[in-house]
A = this chain, B = another copy of it.
């Protein structure tokens, strides 16, 4: 009898805990093969510093609340492991895996985290250990390679879409309104920035600026002014990843070595104000787009649980070094199948919006809409107590 450990890594999503729940659920169905279910605190740090908690000791009703709780319940990290898998830090990881009799390792993350996952899979192979390593995909940016989409993206898209509609309702109220520049997450891929293209006419953004296209600041200013003059207000969707000479450069890097983004909308508003003396409002959808329980897509939630299930099944079948992927069978009716893909084909790759999904800066193509529309369908139920969404109260018993 061997134990399993589950790792949440990188930026949280609205359904990252749903995949964890799915893995717990499936592990409990195989209690003859999997003994203890451990959670590694703060991503891989828990395995480096021997900081695990025993999930087997948690109550089922509290665990069920994971389905409505965005944010990584185990904590997360952006620590990038050294390239050389003979670096001493890997020794710590192996020691802890062996010490805790762990046979099954699950890493739930995006591009950078799949790199962590891949390295661990190489390491245990090299050491000849009987340890299976399986990746679980997530990232709101939807930029993971090979999988049809990433878990967490549909709920973030649903948040962005419904929030743009709310902003349109508000922004269009005034006879002479403002230029609203709304900054959406997605460093390298514009999936979320483009998502509000699904909105009905009248509630849509007027303009979209995706990181896939070269950003021309002068043209942007012209476009915005033209819309404002025509409509009396403007609603513009801008990716945090568009590149222009920033008024105030950020030099801060995260653990994975990426510059911290944000503030693009504020800078663009300042530029528009200075240039045309138009009233502006910068809106950053910020952490809300990945952390709002009220807009969890039912499709996303269900798929996240299912991928957690599939990861455990793959591990029990000994399929190490793979990530669970979603493969689309059809758009209408929407149908997905679950497969495995080798981690080295995914780690550090970036999937952007293909050209045939884009039309111009005012709209996306039908292909994009057919792709996205089924992902946001259905509302995951949320339990409230006195108007506040319930969150799990865990015992968090440390593994000795």
A contacts, CB < 8 Å to B: 12, 42, 45, 69-72, 75-78, 158, 161-163, 165-175, 180, 198-200, 203, 248, 252, 260, 262-263, 266, 270, 273, 279, 281-284, 286-288, 290-295, 297, 373, 376-379, 384, 386-389, 391
- Measured between beta carbons, the chain B residues less than 8 angstroms from A72 are 173
- The copy count of this chain in the complex is 2
Instruction: With a 10 A CB-CB cut-off, give which of A166, A287, A292 has the most chain B CB atoms.
Output: A166
Find A172's partner among B71, B266, B378 (CB 8 Å cutoff): B71
Q: Are A287 and B279 in contact (CB under 8 A)?
A: no
Q: Are A162 and B294 in contact (CB under 8 A)?
A: yes
Least CB distance, A270 to chain B, in whole angstroms: 8
Q: Are B291 and A161 in contact (CB under 8 A)?
A: no
Find A169's partner among B71, B180, B262, B282 (CB 8 Å cutoff): B71
Q: Are B291 and A391 in contact (CB under 8 A)?
A: no
- Top-3 shortest CB links A-B: A71-B169, A376-B387, A294-B294
Q: Are A71 and B389 in contact (CB under 8 A)?
A: no
Q: Are B174 and A391 in contact (CB under 8 A)?
A: no
- Measured between beta carbons, the chain B residues less than 8 angstroms from A294 are 162, 292, 294-295
Instruction: With a 10 A CB-CB cut-off, give which of A248, A288, A386 has the most chain B CB atoms.
Output: A288
Q: Are B291 and A170 in contact (CB under 8 A)?
A: yes
Given A42-B174, A203-B391: 4 more A-B contacts, CB < 8 Å: A75-B172, A161-B387, A162-B294, A262-B282
- Measured between beta carbons, the chain B residues less than 8 angstroms from A12 are 169-170, 173
A163 to B76, CA, bound (A): 20
Closest to A196 in B: B388
Least CB distance, A246 to chain B, in whole angstroms: 13
